[in-house]
Amino acid sequence: MSAPVLSLRGVSKNFGGVRALVDVDVDVREHEVLAVVGDNGAGKSTLAGVIAGAFRPDGGEVLLDGAPVVLDSPAAARTHGIAAVFQQLALVDDLDVVENVFLGQETLRGPFLDEIAMEREAWGLLDQLAATVPSVRQPVRTLSGGQRQVVAVARALLGAPRVLVLDEPTAALGVRQTAEVLNLIEKLRERGHAVVLISHQAGDLQAVADRIVVLRLGRVHGEFSGDTSYEDLLAAMTGAVRPARPGGPARAASGPEPRERRAGGTGAVHR
Amino acid sequence: MSAVQQRGSLTQIELAGVTGLSPATVSNIVKELTGAGVLHTSPSTRSGRRALQVTLARNLGLVAGVHFGSRSMRVALADASMRVLADQRMPLAPDHRADTGLQRAALLVAEMVASVDAAPDELLAVGVGVPAPVDVRAGSIATVGMMRGWDGVVVPEVLEAELGAPVTVDNDANLGALAETRFGAAVGHDAVAYLRVSHGVGGGLVLGGRVVHGRAGVAGEIGHVTIDENGPVCRCGNRGCLEMYVGAGVLLSMLSESRGHLTLRDVIARAQEGDPGCRRVLFDAGQHLGVAAANLCNLVDPEIVVVGGQLAEAGEALLGPLRTALEQRTVPSTAGPVQVVASELGSAAEVRGALAVALDLARVSGSLGVSA
Ligand SMILES: Nc1ncnc2c1ncn2[C@@H]1O[C@H](COP(=O)(O)OP(=O)(O)OP(=O)(O)O)[C@@H](O)[C@H]1O
Ligand SMILES: [Mg+2]
Ligand SMILES: [Zn+2]
């Protein structure tokens, strides 16, 4: 098994009184889809933000190839090969596809942007994604949800990042576009990217994940292999399973104790 | 008519060959049916010679094919000449259930029909393939516990309610076998054995152009041929089935200790790059498949064995040892060893078969507007 590209060790993040992440350990490897699942408010987007430099953790550290790094902005994360597509795509509706792909990333291209070179590179990225975008000179406002998602991914792929974070990429998509995005994630994995896929739709995650981390109330509530059953994931998401110790397997909360109690004659104890 | 329908599209000369009619007669019939708006002709230059390509006119409607695999689903739309108009794959969770799976399939079909600018009522019929034995008449899986959550589900009932078109369902390897026989590697063969080696292992037999279903749909289930009667217990409930030696779960778990979580695709790619462990796993799988296929060949004596499913993408790394084991265990024939080839339609075989049975269904239910 390859060494992790990126690791979070004991990462915590608070927003005022809200503990969005608590003592989180996560490893991200190349050629792998790490899925993060959890209920609304579980801390998934905060985790994405920490990995992609949008949030500085209050505690713990971020390791890149085993060495501590400070990712104090998305731009800093990008220079370290980490890119993200956030839940809000942050595309500019009235700009066309090429302008959106290069938006805010002029630093990657030097001060004088050659329109033709940019257009060529945009097509190149979209081709890699086998995307069906009618024209790169069309305002993104005219594109479908799936096509907009592809443009956002193309933007993230600029500069060939090693780690790609996708926060809820299938939310608000039809089934056909969801299929496109899932195929795209498989392709990114095959090409060797480390993909961090965030969703609260367990079915979509299970379709493409190598590993699944369950977040609950900001804590890691278990790490599972990609072929874990839906019931086990749901149990971890809803808290029917105790948080696992780092590296250890998740344990069912309804283990020996309740059974012993029942055997002891208390009868109707149900959890 | 049915000759054009079965093959999708062919030249007038090929049509004469297939039907046994004279070229002049064929030419007259084609002219007449084109005038009636049933057929469509277009000039082509197949194999260097100019010819008239004959297809069914598109206004005869659409059919859909749906293939549920263990880890993905594939949906295709074709017109009445078997021209594929749309094709979409979707990865699925390992334990996808009938209710969500069928609902997604129905949504996907509906969205795809809309994407080719067709109205919902242009959908004439739907063919469905599932990776378990199917009682075709009942429209349900013919055994219990093979696909979680699918037991007792009457697939046509569910999909017909969603899509408003007649639905037929069959085992996916049976559909792959049919497609390879009609359009792929086994065209022109009368007795065809098809092995589908993917996440699970399935098989299909086509004799005289017809899929063999047997009593209740279990015919051809080569994945559950016994390799070792004391072997591990299979999902079907028996011991030491072929699938327990070459199913994806087994192959991948043999590698996970040393190589982490891989997909079948990863194993094939790594084997091609020279990874000895991945090559070994494919070699052993090929041998096991050859042993099982030999038993089948001794019983049926097919003219050709077509190997499909994702693992067939490994090519000779799998087929080489398969052939050797097969030849060692079949009764030597004066006709020489049976031909063993990789699928020609690849990952599209099953969905093409689903389209073909959908078109057959549209024809028998009369919705094509012409009888065969
Ligand atoms: N910028 C912020 N300021 C204040 N509180 C925040 C901020 N971002 C997140 N939070 C809070 O932190 C907690 C975790 O939020 P986060 O967005 O990470 O959850 P999530 O798992 O992504 O949820 P969802 O499924 O709704 O996207 C929530 O209680 C949220 O209200
Ligand atoms: Mg979120
Ligand atoms: Zn079995």
Span A197-243, pLDDT tens digits: 998 888 899 999 999 999 999 999 989 988 888 888 888 887 776 54
Q: Strands B62-68 and B72-79: what pairing?
A: antiparallel
Question: Does residue B366 form part of some domain?
Answer: no
- C-alpha separations of A26 from A62, A188, A214, B135, B199 in Å: 10, 20, 11, 47, 29
Is B138 in the same domain as B76? yes
Choosing from B174, B198, B220, the residue where a domain stops is: B174
- State the DSSP code for B342: E
B38 or B119, higher pLDDT:
B119
* Ligand 1 atom 8 nearest Cα: A46
Q: Is residue A61's pLDDT more than 80?
A: yes
* Cα-trace Rg, chain B: 21
Q: Hey, are the CB atoms on A227 and B94 less than 8 Å from each other?
A: yes
How many other β-carbons are positioned within 10 Å of the β-carbon of residue A53? 23
Q: Is A199 in the pocket of ligand 1 (CB under 6 A)?
A: no
Is B162's pLDDT higher than 90?
Answer: yes
Enter the tokens of residue A233: 């994931």
In a domain, B84, yes or no: yes
B349 assigned to some structural domain: no
For residues B190 and B325, membership in a common domain is answered with yes
- Domain edge (last residue) among B15, B30, B59: B59
Residues 265..324 of B with a Cβ closer than 8 Å to A: which?
265-266
Rounded Cα–Cα distance for residues A19 and A148 (Å) = 32
What's residue B51's pLDDT?
75
Lowest-confidence range among A58-72, A141-155, B145-159? A141-155
Q: What is the pLDDT of residue A116?
A: 78
Coil vs helix vs strand at B60: helix
pLDDT at A88 over 80: no
Quote the CA–CA distance of B204 and B195 in Å, as a whole number: 7
The domain of B211 spans 185-344
pLDDT mean over A89-102: 83
CATH of the domain at B33: 1.10.10.10
Instruction: Report the percentage of chain A scoring pLDDT > 70.
Output: 81
Q: Which of B141, B174, B207 is the last residue of a domain?
A: B174
| Highest-pLDDT range among A176-185, B32-41, B339-348 | B339-348
| B257 inside 8 A of chain A by CB | no
Check whether A259 has a pLDDT greater than 50. Answer: no
Helices and strands, number each (H, E), in chain A: 9, 12
What is the domain count for chain B?
Answer: 3
Task: Tell whether B205 and B255 lie within a shared domain.
Answer: yes
Same domain (yes/no): B86, B159: yes
Q: Is A200 in the pocket of ligand 1 (CB under 6 A)?
A: yes
Summarize the confidence of residues B159-165 as an average pLDDT.
95
Task: Say whether pTM exceeds 0.90.
Answer: no
User: Which segments of chain B does DSSP mark as H helices, in order?
Assistant: 2-7, 12-19, 23-35, 98-115, 155-163, 172-183, 243-246, 248-259, 264-272, 276-300, 316-329, 349-364
Angle between helices A115-128 and A145-157 (to 10 degrees): 110
- For residue B91, the distance in angstroms to the closest alpha carbon of chain A comes to 5
What pLDDT, on a 0 to 100 scale, did the predictor assign at position B175? 98
What was the pLDDT predicted at A64?
A: 95
Q: What is the pLDDT of residue A254?
A: 37
CA of A37 from ligand 3 middle (Å) equals 34
Q: Are residues B245 and B118 in the same domain?
A: no
Q: Which residue has the tokens 């400070």?
A: A70
- How far apart are the CA of A167 and the centre of ligand 2, in A? 7
CA angle A220, A223, A226 (to 5 degrees): 140
Q: B89: which chain A residues are within 8 Å (Cβ-Cβ)?
A: 179, 183
On whether the CB atoms of residues A25 and A218 are closer than 8 A, the answer is no
Per DSSP bridges, beta strands B123-130 and B62-68 are parallel
Mean pLDDT value across chain A: 81
B27, pLDDT greater than 80: yes
* Ligand closest to the CA atom of residue A167: 2
The position carrying tokens 């990008």 is: A78
Backbone angles phi, psi at B129, to 5 degrees: -115, 135
Provide the ipTM.
0.79
Strands B72-79 and B84-91: antiparallel
Q: How confident is the model at residue A195 (pLDDT cuts 50, 70, 90)?
A: very high
Q: How confident is the model at residue B317 (pLDDT cuts 50, 70, 90)?
A: very high
Q: How many CB atoms lie within 10 A of CB B192?
A: 27
Q: Provide, as residue numbers in chain A, all residues whose Cβ is less than 8 Å from the Cβ of B76.
A: none
Q: Which carries the bigger pLDDT value, residue A269 or residue B345?
A: B345
Measured between CB atoms, does B259 come within 8 Å of chain A? yes
pLDDT digits (tens, 9 = 90+) for B174-187: 999 999 999 999 99
- Cα–Cα distance measured from residue A156 to residue A135, given in angstroms and rounded to the nearest whole number: 19
Residue B86: the pLDDT is 87
Domains defined for chain A, CATH in brackets:
6-81+163-269 (3.40.50.300), 92-160 (no CATH)
| Ligand 1 mutation target, pool A21, A45, A170, A205, most atoms within 8 A of CB | A45
More confident call, B6 vs B309:
B309
- Say if CB B230 and CB B240 are below 8 A apart: yes
- A267 pLDDT band, cuts 50/70/90, is very low
Domain co-membership, B14 together with B96: no
Instruction: Please state, in angstroms and rounded to a whole number, the distance separating the CA atoms of residues B107 and B186.
Output: 33
Please list every residue in chain B whose beta carbon sits closer than 8 Å to the beta carbon of residue A230. 93, 95
Does pLDDT of A250 surpass 60?
no
Q: Is residue B36 part of a domain?
A: yes
CATH of the domain at B287: 3.30.420.40
Q: What percent of chain B has a predicted confidence (pLDDT) above 70? A: 94
Q: Are residues B27 and B151 in the same domain?
A: no
pLDDT of residue A258: 32
Query: Measured between CA atoms, how close is A230 to chain B, in angstroms?
Result: 7
- Which of left, alpha, beta for A57 (phi over 0: left; psi -120 to 50: alpha)? beta
Q: Are B93 and A174 an interchain contact pair (Cβ–Cβ within 8 Å)?
A: no
Residue B138: the pLDDT is 93
pLDDT of residue B188: 94
Choose, out of A37, A175, A177, the residue to mutate when testing the contact with B (most B CBs < 10 Å): A175
Q: Using one digit for the tens of pLDDT, what is the confidence trace for B272-290?
A: 999 999 999 999 999 999 9
Angstrom distance (rounded) from CA B102 to CA A58: 46
- Could you tell me if B228 and B340 lie in one domain? yes
d(CA B232, CA B239): 5
Strand arrangement, sheet containing B167-171: B84-91, B72-79, B62-68, B123-130, B167-171
The first and second tokens of residue A141, run together, are 């406002």
User: How are beta strands B339-342 and B304-308 bridged, if at all?
Assistant: parallel
Assigned token pair, A91: 């595309």
| Residue partners of A233: CB distance under 8 A and separation at least 6 | A37, A202, A206, A212, A214, A224
| pLDDT (0 to 100) of residue A110 | 54
Residue B24 included in any domain: yes
Q: How confident is the model at residue A176 (pLDDT cuts 50, 70, 90)?
A: confident
Cα A112 from Cα A189, distance rounded (Å): 33
H/E segment holding residue A98: helix A97-102
**Number of the ligand 1 atom closest to the C-alpha atom of A47:** 18
Same domain, B93 and B32: no
Q: B6 with B110, same domain?
A: no
In this structure, the answer to whether residues B96 and B221 fall within a common structural domain is no
The CB-based long-range contact list for A170-175 (8 Å cut-off, 24+ gap) reads A170/A199, A170/A201, A170/A204, A171/A87, A171/A199, A171/A201, A172/A145, A173/A145, A173/A146, A173/A149, A174/A145, A174/A146, A174/B107, A174/B111, A175/B90, A175/B104, A175/B107, A175/B108, A175/B111
Q: Which two tokens stand for residue B205?
A: 């037999």
User: Are B137 and B278 in the same domain?
Assistant: no
Provide the token pair at A2: 């390859």
> Quick check: is B268 in a domain?
yes
